[in-house]
Chain A
Amino acid sequence: MSASVIIFYVLAAIIILGGVLSVTSRKIFRSAIYLLFSLIGIAGLYFYLDYEFIAAVQIVVYVGGIVVLLVFSIFLTHGSGEHMKQPNMWRALFSGLAALTGLILTLYIIGNQTFVSDNSTPMAPSVQNIGTQLVSVTSPGYSLPFELVSMLLLAALIGCIVIAIKPAKKADPKPLESNELRSRAENDTLTIENKTVA
Chain B
Amino acid sequence: MSVTPDDVRKAARLSRIKIDEDRLDHMTGELNGILEWIEQLNEVDVDGVEAMTTPVEMSLPMRADTVTDGDKQSDVLANAPRSDDGFFVVPKSVE
Question: Do chains A and B interact in one complex?
Answer: no
| A residues lining the B interface (CB < 8 Å) | none
| B residues lining the A interface (CB < 8 Å) | none
